[in-house]
Structure 1
Amino acid sequence: MTLATTTYRLLPEWHPQDGIQLTWPRHDGDWAPLLERIEATLERIVIATARYQDVLICVPDERTKDRLAATFDAYGVPASSLQLIVAPTDDTWARDHGPISVVDNDGQLAMLDYIFTGWGGKFPAERDNLLTQRLADAGVWACPVTARDFVLEGGGIETDGEGTLLTTDACLLNPNRNPTLSRAAVEAQLGEDFGVDRVLWLANGHLEGDDTDSHIDTLARFCDPTTIAYVRCDDPNDPHYPALAAMEKELQAFRQRSGAPYRLIPLPWPQACFDPDDGHRLPATYANFLIINHAVLVPTYGDPADVTALQALALAFPERTLIPIECVSVIRQHGSLHCLTMQLPQCSLARGMPAKRSAGTD
């Protein structure tokens, strides 16, 4: 298919980065029963990432800001690698309320600010939806921010950086996102905003316990323009097996622009994880890894398949260091490592410009 395109190009995750964005949990938010555990996981993400690039953290109040500054100083994280910005938020999922970065034909970076509705109105999201613009008003960004009248989350799209976008029917065509738009209209929007001329749609694949309506970053990920890592279920008795087997066949049928098949790297299927309080299944997935400069952060679950996942991703990223991050607590709130983060490409952060003390209030 050929889509209408503009001068914009959606950047792949492996594009050189200034840093990543995190949103720290509020003490009175959904993470309250697990606050110490999720903070420990976020601390590990910061420590690992700060070895390679900066970390922007949106924090709920000045007290948390001061506490984290002291904590990371004690861990030996350079203060120059951190930006702590006070800003009101609803939750922690920066992948879905953070900015999506594009470049124009002159290589100039811009950020697109999409409407975030808490995955189709499932959860409060008003403050998260305002966050990108509040950070712009606080002087955090070094590039312009443009609002888009379109519901979209960063976890719902993957790109090879060369004009191809990978996504799922269940998310982008869900009537809880942009109910008046047809598939063709959604594709036209993606072509206009991201300069893509090919959209690869997955009609199959889901994870129990997932609130996102099958975000692609839980199922299949571009590792480079010719390689896709994807979740494979090898247990015929697992309820996920039929849909993920059908998804695998779809991926095998996809072709690169050249007509060649993609190099497919299957990721292992961890043992079923269940919430200890009410017993519902949790969405553990190794596809929710994060690519940063010179490294890949990989979610682990205290499962024997953790090692197999790291070995598989080592094939996809032979020149990057793989860093396991334990994410058992993260899936208790139905996300994982990639969902917590948003990469910020080079020229995103106004490093030389002192940001204001906070990014606004309610």
Structure 2
Amino acid sequence: MSTAAPRYLMPAETAPQDRVWMAFPCEGYSLGDDEKDKDEARSTWAAVAHAIAKFEPVTVVVDPNEVSIARTYLSIDIDIVEAPLNDAWMRDIGPTFVHTEDGSVAAVDWVFNGWGAQDWAQWDKDSRIGEFVSGLSGVPRIASNLVNEGGGIQVDGTGTVLVTETVQLDPGRNPGLTKTDVEAELARTIGAKHVIWLPRGLTRDSERFGTRGHVDIVASIPTPGTVMVHVQRDPSHPDFEVSRLVLEVLRASHDGHGNEWKIVEMPAPATLSDSEGFVDYSYINHLVVNGGVIACSYDDPVDAEAVSILQQVYPGREVVTVDARPLFARGGGIHCITQHQPSRR
């Protein structure tokens, strides 16, 4: 009898999907303090959900205290399920879905600890959402001891994975783990065969209220062999140097098949700052759905150029934009608040 461990592989985000999972803002940091802020958060999360629902089913996890008000923002086309929440970043608190060898779907349940046990974060409820969503999805749960978030990995669907040194090696997440340790767990859970370590994330995301460097606003892999990179074109913004460094690393690397990357430079918006300082607005942080792409917009002169690039790298998909400024003001974007569940292969 074989005792070999099961093999899993995280598919490309362009693979067919059964649904997208989200969470609805509840009392706390992301919702805001006054009624105007609360309405802005709820309206923006709902706008993303409705944009996705034009392409595929959406299930939103809602804190029991927010169910009645959530239904006033979400149409009857959106499925609502109840579970206690601290926050609403489903990419990070939810499971990462993978394929098994027979093509069925399973869910990797990472350890979530508030983006490295940050002093402003609470995660006693959110740390249970991975298991909760795994159960509702009806697929086997793969428990992992790695502190990780979905926003901290980008894959090509053939075993190539992008990560950042400041996330998986963060002492607040995985003290004492080496790159070899992390790569071994990524191989076991998502089928990583070739891991590329980017040195860091964007500047604002590396500050106090950020994730300490999630890759999903820095680079993505729209198709195997092609990497799309956030490029800040204004030298006055600190991400000018960050994106230069990331490009250097990727140009010196290769994909999991040993081929040089085709690099697509995705420009940063022209907007450089808000009331809090330099922004980390990024078009990289988009969601691919069945037949479409849900993309961030910023009422910015570069929005149209970004849509054109997305249309080129995702041919045949309709690009729909949602104003993501309220999301980034709270610490993330469209990819950050969503988690896709692939279909059986």
TM over 0.5: yes
Aligned residue for 1:356?
Answer: none
The answer as to 2:110 corresponding to 1:114 is yes
Tell me: CA distance 1:209–1:262, structure 2 relative to 1, closer, same or farther (3 Å): closer
Q: 2:175 aligns with which of 175, 179, 182?
A: 179
The answer as to 2:188 corresponding to 1:192 is yes
Residue 18 of structure 2 contacts residue 343 of structure 2 at CA under 8 Å; is this kept in 1? yes
The answer as to 2:300 corresponding to 1:303 is yes
Q: How much does 1:290 deviate?
A: 0.6
CA deviation string 1:261-320 (max 9, x = no partner): 2221111122345443xx333321111011111101110111111111111111111111
Q: How much does 1:45 deviate?
A: 1.1
Tell me: CA distance 1:174–1:233, structure 2 relative to 1, closer, same or farther (3 Å): same
Q: 2:332 aligns with which of 328, 332, 335?
A: 335
Residue 209 of structure 1 contacts residue 281 of structure 1 at CA under 8 Å; is this kept in 2? no
SS of the aligned residue for 2:137 comes to coil
Aligned equivalents of 1:168, 1:71: Cα separation in 2: 36
Residue 109 of structure 2 contacts residue 130 of structure 2 at CA under 8 Å; is this kept in 1? yes
Aligned equivalents of 1:320, 1:219: Cα separation in 2: 22
SS of the aligned residue for 1:200 comes to strand
Residue 237 of structure 2 contacts residue 272 of structure 2 at CA under 8 Å; is this kept in 1? no
Residue 6 of structure 1 contacts residue 195 of structure 1 at CA under 8 Å; is this kept in 2? no
Aligned residue for 2:91?
Answer: 95
Aligned residue for 1:260?
Answer: 259
Aligned residue for 1:353?
Answer: none
Aligned equivalents of 2:260, 2:28: Cα separation in 1: 48
SS of the aligned residue for 1:90 comes to coil
Residue 167 of structure 1 contacts residue 202 of structure 1 at CA under 8 Å; is this kept in 2? yes
Judge which range, 248-257 or 185-194, deviates more.
Answer: 248-257
Q: How much does 1:255 deviate?
A: 1.7
The answer as to 2:67 corresponding to 1:65 is yes
Q: How much does 1:251 deviate?
A: 1.6
Tell me: CA distance 1:188–1:42, structure 2 relative to 1, closer, same or farther (3 Å): same
Q: 1:146 aligns with which of 118, 121, 142?
A: 142
SS of the aligned residue for 2:228 comes to strand
Aligned residue for 2:54?
Answer: 51
Aligned equivalents of 1:217, 1:127: Cα separation in 2: 24
Residue 107 of structure 2 contacts residue 134 of structure 2 at CA under 8 Å; is this kept in 1? no
Q: How much does 1:29 deviate?
A: 4.7
Judge which range, 23-32 or 243-252, deviates more.
Answer: 23-32
Aligned residue for 1:20?
Answer: 20
Q: 1:127 aligns with which of 125, 140, 157?
A: 125
Amino acid at match of 2:24: W
Aligned equivalents of 1:125, 1:168: Cα separation in 2: 22
Residue 23 of structure 1 contacts residue 93 of structure 1 at CA under 8 Å; is this kept in 2? yes
1:269-284 → structure 2 map (5 Å cutoff):
269-276=268-275, 279-284=276-281
Q: How much does 1:32 deviate?
A: 2.4
Aligned equivalents of 1:12, 1:49: Cα separation in 2: 18
Aligned residue for 1:9?
Answer: 9
Aligned residue for 1:287?
Answer: 284
**Structure 2 unmatched runs, 5+:** none
TM-score by length of 1: 0.86
Q: How much does 1:71 deviate?
A: 4.6
Q: How much does 1:243 deviate?
A: 2.1
Aligned equivalents of 1:28, 1:241: Cα separation in 2: 33
**Structure 1 unmatched runs, 5+:** 74-78, 349-362
Aligned equivalents of 1:14, 1:60: Cα separation in 2: 30
TM-score by length of 2: 0.90
SS of the aligned residue for 2:329 comes to helix
Tell me: CA distance 1:157–1:209, structure 2 relative to 1, closer, same or farther (3 Å): closer
Aligned equivalents of 2:250, 2:28: Cα separation in 1: 42
Give identity over the alignment, percent: 28
Residue 63 of structure 2 contacts residue 84 of structure 2 at CA under 8 Å; is this kept in 1? yes
Aligned equivalents of 1:112, 1:334: Cα separation in 2: 24
Aligned equivalents of 1:135, 1:184: Cα separation in 2: 29
Q: How much does 1:66 deviate?
A: 4.1
Residue 116 of structure 1 contacts residue 151 of structure 1 at CA under 8 Å; is this kept in 2? yes
SS of the aligned residue for 2:162 comes to strand
Q: How much does 1:177 deviate?
A: 1.2
Q: How much does 1:344 deviate?
A: 1.3
Q: How much does 1:5 deviate?
A: 8.4
Amino acid at match of 1:184: T
Aligned residue for 1:250?
Answer: 249
Judge which range, 28-37 or 261-270, deviates more.
Answer: 28-37
Q: How much does 1:119 deviate?
A: 0.6
Residue 28 of structure 2 contacts residue 87 of structure 2 at CA under 8 Å; is this kept in 1? no
SS of the aligned residue for 2:204 comes to coil
Residue 159 of structure 2 contacts residue 256 of structure 2 at CA under 8 Å; is this kept in 1? no
SS of the aligned residue for 1:297 comes to strand
Q: How much does 1:173 deviate?
A: 1.4
SS of the aligned residue for 2:91 comes to helix
Judge which range, 244-253 or 21-30, deviates more.
Answer: 21-30
